A and B are shown apart, each in its own frame.
Chain A
């Protein structure tokens, strides 16, 4: 691990200011992704700004009837919150499908959104990777890419975003609140938060340098049956090959988003109009323009089948 200096920030604005003052500085929250990558010298911050203890660990009702989740709320606490379990079940389910009990006790809402890909070539510093070293090439495109993306891919990168939570936030139409060094705050719809790889796969979100996530806001509850199905190589403690977050209403209408298939949670609103026509129709629209590799073409069928399982369960819940 490269050496770094360390400070505890005193307020969100000061944290953002400190990060802007020191090029090469990074925030640390739970540390579960950043420290892992620092040990491998994939991340090499020269200064760490600890954003724990800024009072960003509360879940509060909003005036609109939604919930405002502080960026430092731990994944365990968010999944266990009574309001989340009752009104945003898909979020609770997605969180509980991720990582382990120990990790969820550390992992934060903001850090989870910003966790980096699990592409094995990204993790192996002996391999080319445009995300890790821009311009070095992509080891995965002609390599072992069974886990990789089938949608929104580019010539430069076919990595997936590994977060389960983000898929649920996408189907819930969450927004991300931030603060910058000059104190300016902005609100970013989750749909616009993560970027597709294009020819700059190392730039993963629309955040500017030094911009701190302060909260994630959920709109008022939309009801319905809320489900999260995650298909993986073992039944617990593994990243998704494909996941489906769904909210299905009693009339059969609803929303769906996919995880494990793209550089960001994948949602196509036009596909949702097909929900009353069944999984195959929805999958067809969701997967339009898909570019699988030979090794991960199975994900096309897996998306359809996982969707079918989710819709069947939703139907069962309504009976």
Chain B
């Protein structure tokens, strides 16, 4: 795949058996074990065979990532998340569930947080994408990144990039007056209360259960009113 204009920000992994390959091997072993058990499998091909298999198609997608223009020619099936990770080597955004349920893939597109696993890269023509790599660097961290470090807002760290991107855009949503499920009076501007922050972050799961520290980090940056 061609990447014009923007050099990869990180070299692709070069060691022989990367952690990811190892995980892939691990899951395929589990998958083949499942297939050999006597589960009824008759329906899957039926569902798939309703249409003739089409040949892979590619399409161009041009968007900005962290301020850098990216021109890609991609298999149309490539999600924004896969484009970021596999093609642009921005591996900060994580693939958790790949179904929009966990929030680990959250990035900011045109100022709004979205699940990058549930949008196609070709649908992002002209978009401005901000990933965790674009929010700050180890030398110059975004206030939320610093707050996560200070408050220990993680254990394994897998959900962290998604939590931080989500929180940055979430605080903007409150500023913009967007209500939430727990906003009592719809005609008033929403407040920075603990229930508001918690409800608004419910799209980001943390398997380690570091929620109280995540809350503290966000609350600190929000101004601590909550």
Q: Do A and B come from one complex?
A: yes
Q: CA of A24 to CA of B122 in the docked complex: distance in angstroms? A: 19
Q: A126, B56: Cβ atoms under 8 Å? A: no
Closest to B75 in A: A3
Q: CA of A132 to CA of B43 in the docked complex: distance in angstroms? A: 9
Q: Does B103 contact A (CB under 8 A)?
A: yes
> Contacts of A30 on B, CB cut-off 8 Å?
118-119
Closest to A48 in B: B76
Q: B200, A46: Cβ atoms under 8 Å? A: no
Q: CA of A243 to CA of B124 in the docked complex: distance in angstroms? A: 35
Known contacts A97-B181, A99-B203, A237-B203: A35-B118 contact under CB 8 Å: yes
Q: B100, A32: Cβ atoms under 8 Å? A: yes
Q: A3, B53: Cβ atoms under 8 Å? A: yes
| Contact for A127 among B43, B54, B173, CB less than 8 A | B43
Q: CA of A85 to CA of B176 in the docked complex: distance in angstroms? A: 14
Q: A76, B178: Cβ atoms under 8 Å? A: yes
**Binary contact readout B136-176 vs A (1 if CB under 8 angstroms, 0 otherwise):** 00000000000000000000000000000010011001001
Q: CA of A258 to CA of B27 in the docked complex: distance in angstroms? A: 41
Stretch of B12-20, B109-117, B207-215 lying at the A interface = B109-117
Interface residues of B in 164-214 (CB under 8 A from A): 166, 169-170, 173, 176-181, 183, 186-187, 198-204
Known contacts A80-B179, A96-B181, A102-B114: A2-B186 contact under CB 8 Å: no
Stretch of A86-94, A173-181, A185-193, A287-295 lying at the B interface = A86-94
Q: A106, B54: Cβ atoms under 8 Å? A: no
Q: A41, B44: Cβ atoms under 8 Å? A: yes
| Contact for B77 among A3, A92, A127, A136, CB less than 8 A | A3
- Count A-side interface residues using an 8 Å CB cutoff: 50
Stretch of A4-12, A155-163, A249-257, A273-281 lying at the B interface = A4-12
> Contacts of A237 on B, CB cut-off 8 Å?
202-203
> Contacts of A50 on B, CB cut-off 8 Å?
122-123
**Binary contact readout B21-63 vs A (1 if CB under 8 angstroms, 0 otherwise):** 0000000000000000001110110111011111111010000
Q: Does B99 contact A (CB under 8 A)?
A: yes
Q: Does B93 contact A (CB under 8 A)?
A: no
Which of the four size classes fits the interface of chain B? Answer: 35 or more
Q: Nearest Cβ in chain B — how far from A288, in angstroms?
A: 31
Q: Select the residue from B53, B120, B186, B202 with max chain A CB neighbours within 10 A.
A: B186
Q: B177, A80: Cβ atoms under 8 Å? A: yes
Q: A100, B43: Cβ atoms under 8 Å? A: no
Q: Does A101 contact B (CB under 8 A)?
A: yes
Q: Does B130 contact A (CB under 8 A)?
A: no
Q: B119, A35: Cβ atoms under 8 Å? A: yes
Q: CA of A48 to CA of B41 in the docked complex: distance in angstroms? A: 28
Q: A42, B114: Cβ atoms under 8 Å? A: no
Q: Nearest Cβ in chain A — how far from B148, in angstroms?
A: 18
Q: CA of A47 to CA of B199 in the docked complex: distance in angstroms? A: 37
Q: A125, B202: Cβ atoms under 8 Å? A: no
> Contacts of A31 on B, CB cut-off 8 Å?
118-120, 123
> Contacts of B170 on A, CB cut-off 8 Å?
101
Q: A85, B200: Cβ atoms under 8 Å? A: no
Interface residues of A in 44-102 (CB under 8 A from B): 44-46, 48, 50, 52, 76, 79-80, 85-86, 89, 92-93, 96-97, 99-102
| Contact for B51 among A2, A92, A105, A136, CB less than 8 A | A2
Q: A39, B178: Cβ atoms under 8 Å? A: no
Q: Does A13 contact B (CB under 8 A)?
A: no
Q: CA of A237 to CA of B198 in the docked complex: distance in angstroms? A: 11
| Contact for A126 among B44, B77, B125, B200, CB less than 8 A | B44
Closest to A128 in B: B43
Known contacts A1-B77, A103-B115: A39-B173 contact under CB 8 Å: no
Binding site for A on B (CB under 8 A): 39-41, 43-44, 46-48, 50-57, 59, 75-77, 79, 98-100, 103, 106, 112-115, 117-120, 122-123, 125, 166, 169-170, 173, 176-181, 183, 186-187, 198-204
> What are 6 sample pairs from A and B whose C-beta atoms fall under 8 A apart?
A4-B54, A36-B99, A36-B118, A76-B112, A93-B181, A101-B202
Known: A101-B201, A126-B40. 17 other contacts (CB 8 A): A2-B48, A4-B54, A6-B76, A31-B120, A39-B99, A42-B47, A80-B177, A85-B186, A92-B186, A96-B179, A96-B181, A100-B203, A101-B203, A102-B103, A103-B100, A128-B40, A236-B199
9 A-B pairs with the lowest CB-CB distances in the bound complex, closest first: A100-B203, A236-B202, A125-B44, A85-B186, A237-B202, A80-B178, A3-B56, A96-B181, A6-B76
